[in-house]
Structure 1
Amino acid sequence: MEEQLRILKMLEEGKITAEQASEFLTALTPQKETEATSYEVAETERVNLEYDKRMVRIVVDSSEGDKVNVQLPVTAIRQILKVTGKLPAVSESLQGIELTEILDTVVDCLDAEAIGDIVNVESKNGDIVKVYVG
C-alpha cells in the first residue's frame, strides 16, 4: 500500500507519467491476484448479464376494474426507473398504496439481483400491485 501511495505521489508531482504509474502499479500486483481478479470480474459480468435478461413482471388490478400486466427485461426496468423515477403501469391513483416505498423496494431488489416476489400488495380498497422477477 505504501508503494502505491508513493507512485501516486510521484504522478501528482509530475515526476512520472500516468502510463508509467499504471505500469508500476500493475507490477506491484501479484500475478495470481490479477488472474483471480480477471476471472472474478468476467464471472460477475456474466452473472449480471444473465440477471439483466430476466423479466420483471408488473401486475396491477385496481378495485375500479383496471387491469395491467407488463413484462419487461430487468435492463429495461432499470433504465425506466433511472430516467423517469417511475414504474410503468403503476397508477398513482391507487388508494392506500404507498408508491414511493414500492419504488424504493424495487430498486433495492434489482440492485441485489433478487429473484421472485419483490412487491405483493393488496390495499383495503381491493387494489392489487405485484412486482416480481422471473
Structure 2
Amino acid sequence: MPNEKEKKQILVMLEQGKITAEQAEKLLRAVDVPESESESKRPEPSKNLDKLSTGGVKIKGKFKVEVESADGDNVMITLPLMLAKLAFNMMPAQKLNEIKSNGVDIEQIVNNIEEFIDMVDEDIVNVESANGDKVRIYIEK
C-alpha cells in the first residue's frame, strides 16, 4: 500500500504541530484517492505532438529577463524559446480548443516564433528607475 507511508507522515506532522487538524484531514483525503480515480482526472494530452514536431530543427534563442535593484538584489531569468513549442505540445487538447474558440491561434503563434526572433533586434523592455533599479527584457539570438 503506497499511501500508508504518506498517511503516517501526515499524522507525524500533525503530532509535531507542523499542520493543523483541518490540514491533516485534507491531506489524508487527498492521499486516499484510489489510483484509478486519479488517473481518470488526468487531462488528455494534446494531439499536436506529431503535427508540431520540429523535424530536428531547434528553435534558437532565449527570452531573457534581467533585474538589477539598487540595493544589490539581482535576478536573471533565461528561458529557451524551444520551451514554447514543447509547452504547446504538452497542453491538453481541450484547453487548446478552448483558447482557439476565444480567437487565439496558439499553433500559429508557436510556428511563427522563429520569425518573431528574427524581427526583434532591440530590447523589448529596458527601464531604469529614479532609485537605480534596472529591468531589461530581450531576446538573445
TM-score (norm 1): 0.33
Return the structure number with greater helix share.
1
